[in-house]
Chain A
Amino acid sequence: MTDIATPNAFVAPDPASTAHATGISDPKMTARNVNVFYGAKQAINDVSIDVDMDNVTAFIGPSGCGKSTFLRTLNRMNDTVASARVSGEIRLDGEDIYASDMDVVQLRARVGMVFQKPNPFPKSIFENVAYGPRIHGLAAAKSELDAIVEKSLRRAGLWDEVKDRLSDSGTALSGGQQQRLCIARAIAVDPEVILMDEPCSALDPIATAKIEELIHELRGRYAMVIVTHNMQQAARVSQKTAFFHLGHLVEYGDTSDIFTNPREERTKDYITGRYG
């Protein structure tokens, strides 16, 4: 399903993509000339981008422009879509994630994902968080597992709300709590990158504020990419912003620059609400 040009040679970034990857010296993930097809239809066209640990990266763009598609190539979730095909090169710490010897299970443990709609498993809160550590064998003893669950829930800012009812079903929580539970679940396997696809779009403003606060707190510990339709949110939580349009990466740079002083006409139109 993948076809990767020269998997071993680390391609020197071409001038165009260097321009996009401005200011990032030590990237966690690098994407070069990535194309994604669904059957014959091309959803992503020649996208190159860098993601690093110190900055939260926001993907913005009109609906259907390919933000989710591109995000899902970063942990190979598109593998689960039969018609999807990816070309180009994506590296995690210099390692080609589409190489044939790449273990998808390991990759997804390192690159976690939070979805648009909270999707806790129909299990207890504890079991939801313990799911990843269990399948990856991260805890040898029950006490270790307890510690991991507590740490993850604390980091996700949920511990105080649920510590007395860890055995209740995860699906019985409120929407905002469920989304934080999903974040806790993702960080329980101690990933290096967390991908979030519109994590707040199903939540009310207060729950959204909590998630945004959480993103602030987690910054630096994990490289984070967030897809959002909310310009204010992008401005609030991210330091880097990428604007996608019709499968192309139109502009990528510091969030402050993109929002105050976009280089491209299309970016300006979008963030000023002229279309979308």
Chain B
Amino acid sequence: MSSTALLFLVLGLGLMAWIAARTRAAAFADGGPRGGATRHSLPMYHGWYVALWAVLPALLFLGVWSAVTPGLINGAVLATPEAAALPAFGMERTAILVEARQLATGQLPGAFNPQAQALAPAFEAEIGKYRLIGTVLALVLAFAGGAYAFTRIRPDFRARTRVERLVMAVLLGASLIAILTTIGIVASLLFESIRFFSFVSPSEFLFGTQWSPQTAIRADQVGSSGAFGAIPLFWGTIFIGAIIAMLVAIPLGLMSAIYLTQYAAPNVRKWMKPILEVLAGVPTVVYGYFAALTVAPAVRDLGVSIGISSASSESALAAGLVMGVMIIPFVSSMADDSIAAVPSAMRDGSYAMGATSSETIRKVLLPAALPGVVGGVMLAVSRAIGETMIVVMAAGLAANLTANPFASVTTVTTQIVQLLTGDQEFDSAKTLAAFALGLVLFIVTLLLNIVALRVVKKYREAYE
């Protein structure tokens, strides 16, 4: 029996269990309102309770079974006399086994390797045997589970509570997946980073100023010193994401928030705010194009025209400018929220003193909204330094430690992409460096987010 058919069979059993249990439970009700013990749960819950007992253990078993049987089958096949002729180790042996298995399950029309041909019948026999065992056990489990649950049905049996408990467990599991995945990612980052630090000392990584991750594959290779001082990357990231981008995003974002909250007529605000928010959803690769194809050449030409000979077509300025524009909606919507949260009594108080709109904004609204704005800016910075696409496309790969915005710099995210793309050995210092960079990035953005959220929360509380 194929596994799909088995699956349907188990589900069918579940359905039957549901119907049977529901019918039986419904019969309790016929005893009249007080014709026996009062029924605790609706018949439907009894149905679900029994059906779940019929289906879940069987499915669980099938899952486990299909995970362990390939190993058992391989073991059994290798124990046959035909297998003795196989090469002892390595790729060839594996390839033959795979081929034999495919022959046995009919995925290959004919044999390529005679040894595989010889092994195929053994495979077929073993697979058949294990499948039969699996099917029987699954069906037995389904029956046993269903029968056990069925015998528990009584009018006062709390089926609803149990079904609800399972529903809650499923929901909990769903919400844990994201958290567990994050924990797993962090763990793998940590683990790989530790391996990396066995090649390169943490202090060299964190404070070294030389970045050139090409390690020698052959001993006689030239120009492959392998320096892992990440300061130029940290600097490039900060230069682009926290300095240039913020120089663009903070003033423009703030001004647009001020315009929207204080000056814009309600119908202007009605269409302008959604547009700004939609901008925040433009895929960053689109900004990346724009940075690489339009802004970067313009910036280079500008640099050349003002006499900067080192102006490069991949520059910190181009990437930073575009990233700043990308972040504007982010800053403006945070600032907008914070300004709108300042009580209007504050604004009235200022106007009543004879202050003009701009004085009121500068001296009362912005100071009152400042913590919220600062929080927003920190979130924006954390987004900017984690941003990848724009810098990959426009910032370049040269790990320069320079404050010249027309020069090419590189960032942590760009280097991670660079280190992990293409054919790489997975245990060289070069690839492991990507994990260490990722870990640093993760820690920094996490800290930024935590601090920013606390600031924003504090600020919200101040006016509640």
Tell me, yes or no, whether A189 is within 8 Å of chain B by CB. Answer: yes
Tell me, yes or no, whether A105 is within 8 Å of chain B by CB. Answer: yes
Tell me, yes or no, whether A221 is within 8 Å of chain B by CB. Answer: no
Chain A residues whose C-beta falls within 8 Å of the C-beta of B266 in the assembled complex: 82
Pick from A82, A107, A115, A120: contact of B354, CB below 8 A: A107
Among A19-27, A87-95, A129-137, A151-159, the stretch in contact with B: A129-137
CA–CA, A104 to B359, complex, Å?
14
Residue contact B352 to A108, C-beta cutoff 8 Å? yes
**B369 nearest in chain A by CB position:** A122
Residue contact B346 to A119, C-beta cutoff 8 Å? yes
Residue contact A109 to B354, C-beta cutoff 8 Å? yes
**B354 nearest in chain A by CB position:** A108
Tell me, yes or no, whether A85 is within 8 Å of chain B by CB. Answer: no
Residue contact B351 to A115, C-beta cutoff 8 Å? no
Chain B residues whose C-beta falls within 8 Å of the C-beta of A82 in the assembled complex: 266
Tell me, yes or no, whether A97 is within 8 Å of chain B by CB. Answer: no
Chain A residues whose C-beta falls within 8 Å of the C-beta of B367 in the assembled complex: 121-123
Closest Cβ–Cβ distance, residue B302 to chain A (whole Å): 41
CA–CA, A121 to B360, complex, Å?
11
Tell me, yes or no, whether B345 is within 8 Å of chain A by CB. Answer: yes
**A107 nearest in chain B by CB position:** B354
Pick from B346, B354, B356, B462: contact of A121, CB below 8 A: B346
Known: A115-B345, A119-B345, A123-B367. A77 touches B354 (CB 8 A): no
Residue contact B353 to A135, C-beta cutoff 8 Å? yes
Chain B residues whose C-beta falls within 8 Å of the C-beta of A132 in the assembled complex: 353-354
Task: Scan residues 56-72 of chain A and give those whose CB is less than 8 A from a CB of chain B.
Answer: none
Residue contact A121 to B350, C-beta cutoff 8 Å? yes
Closest Cβ–Cβ distance, residue A222 to chain B (whole Å): 15
> CB-CB contacts of A104-119 with B at 8 A, as 1s and 0s?
1111110011010101
CA–CA, A77 to B345, complex, Å?
12
CA–CA, A106 to B165, complex, Å?
69
CA–CA, A132 to B349, complex, Å?
11
Residue contact B368 to A106, C-beta cutoff 8 Å? no
Tell me, yes or no, whether A80 is within 8 Å of chain B by CB. Answer: yes
Residue contact A105 to B356, C-beta cutoff 8 Å? yes
Chain A residues whose C-beta falls within 8 Å of the C-beta of B352 in the assembled complex: 75, 77, 108, 112-113, 115, 186
Closest Cβ–Cβ distance, residue A120 to chain B (whole Å): 8
Tell me, yes or no, whether B111 is within 8 Å of chain A by CB. Answer: no
Residue contact B353 to A185, C-beta cutoff 8 Å? yes
Tell me, yes or no, whether B363 is within 8 Å of chain A by CB. Answer: yes
Chain B residues whose C-beta falls within 8 Å of the C-beta of A75 in the assembled complex: 352
Pick from B343, B354, B363, B462: contact of A119, CB below 8 A: B343
Chain A residues whose C-beta falls within 8 Å of the C-beta of B368 in the assembled complex: 121-122
Closest Cβ–Cβ distance, residue B18 to chain A (whole Å): 61
Residue contact B353 to A112, C-beta cutoff 8 Å? yes
> CB-CB contacts of A162-173 with B at 8 A, as 1s and 0s?
000000000000
Tell me, yes or no, whether A49 is within 8 Å of chain B by CB. Answer: no
Chain B residues whose C-beta falls within 8 Å of the C-beta of A119 in the assembled complex: 343, 345-346, 348-349
Closest Cβ–Cβ distance, residue A38 to chain B (whole Å): 15
CA–CA, A132 to B355, complex, Å?
8
CA–CA, A170 to B235, complex, Å?
42
CA–CA, A112 to B359, complex, Å?
17
CA–CA, A82 to B349, complex, Å?
17
**A131 nearest in chain B by CB position:** B353
Q: Beyond the given A117-B345, A189-B354, could you list 6 further A-B residue pairs with CB under 8 A, ordered by the A residue number?
A: A82-B266, A112-B352, A119-B346, A122-B367, A131-B350, A135-B359
Binding site for B on A (CB under 8 A): 75, 77, 80, 82, 104-109, 112-113, 115, 117, 119-123, 131-132, 135-136, 182, 185-186, 189
